[in-house]
């Protein structure tokens, strides 16, 4: 770990985006040893994050998937469309392989579980800062799904109806139904509840 850290610049500016203030405070303390002159900014929702980005350039953004106003994955995709070059790593309470795969497909450079201890967290952040892409964990039964199908499955597991999924992803209801049909066929099920259950059994959620 020491060898990795010496390769970092002496000054870094990080943006931490999470809706839990206590977690942000703990994360800031855990990251403090990264370099001598570390500037940490925090945001508790997408609006605050975008306000920070208008004011500063950051070396890395640590982004939670579950935000109160805009889902983290949707926010990441928005930044990708805008051509924002700031590296983003997802920091999530989810240990789901599917969450990780969807985040990487959306442009994240790493997926770090919140269950990581301080040393593992600093090591993962250091690797991303040094330009490395942290491969998402892969289960033995990798889902043969497209990134869009992965997104829909996640929203399905959150209990969202088709119309809400349409609004969240900006697609038509027919498109959602087409993807759901493909998911049902892949998992050999006939309804939404069975789809989520089968996906969990395979370790996709």
Which residue, of 129, 155, 181, is where some domain finishes? Answer: 129
pLDDT of residue 122: 92
Q: Tell me the pLDDT tens digit for each residue of 84-138.
A: 889 999 988 776 677 777 888 888 998 888 888 888 899 999 999 998 888 765 5
When divided into structural domains, the chain yields a total of 2
Residues of the chain predicted below pLDDT 70? 1-6, 95-96, 136-143
pLDDT of residue 5: 43
pLDDT of residue 104: 84
134 inside domain: no
141 inside domain: no
34-67 burial: b if 16+ Cβ within 10 Å, else e = bbeebebbbbbbbebbbebbeeeebbbbbbbbeb
Which residue, of 98, 129, 160, is where some domain finishes? Answer: 129
| CATH number of the domain residue 189 falls in | 1.10.10.10
**Do residues 173 and 116 both lie within one domain?**
no
What's the rounded Cα separation, in Å, for the pair 74 and 169?
Answer: 8
pLDDT of residue 146: 84
57 inside domain: yes
151 inside domain: yes
Range of the domain at 160: 147-201
Reported pTM: 0.65
* Phi, psi dihedral angles at 191 (to 5 degrees): -150, 170
What's the rounded Cα separation, in Å, for the pair 102 and 150?
Answer: 6
**Do residues 174 and 81 both lie within one domain?**
no
| CATH number of the domain residue 114 falls in | 3.40.50.2300
**Do residues 151 and 181 both lie within one domain?**
yes
pLDDT of residue 3: 42
pLDDT of residue 89: 95
């Amino acid at each position: 770990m020491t060898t990795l850290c010496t390769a970092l610049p002496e000054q870094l500016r990080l943006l931490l985006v999470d809706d839990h203030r206590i977690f942000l405070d703990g994360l800031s303390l855990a990251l403090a040893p990264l370099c001598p002159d570390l500037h940490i900014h925090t945001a508790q929702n997408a609006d605050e994050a975008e306000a920070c980005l208008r004011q500063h350039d950051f070396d890395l953004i640590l982004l939670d998937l579950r935000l109160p106003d805009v889902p983290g994955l949707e926010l990441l995709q928005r930044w990708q469309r805008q051509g924002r070059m700031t590296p983003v790593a997802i920091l999530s309470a989810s240990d789901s392989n599917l969450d990780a795969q969807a985040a990487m497909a959306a442009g994240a450079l790493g997926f770090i579980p919140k269950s990581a201890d301080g040393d593992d967290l600093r090591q993962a952040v250091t690797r991303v800062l040094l330009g490395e892409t942290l491969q998402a964990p892969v289960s033995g039964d990798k889902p043969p799904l497209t990134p869009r199908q992965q997104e829909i499955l996640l929203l399905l597991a959150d209990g969202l109806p088709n119309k809400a999924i349409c609004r969240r992803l900006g697609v038509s209801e027919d498109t959602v139904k087409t993807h759901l049909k493909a998911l049902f066929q892949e998992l050999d099920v006939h309804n939404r509840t069975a789809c989520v259950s089968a996906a969990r059994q395979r370790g996709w959620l």
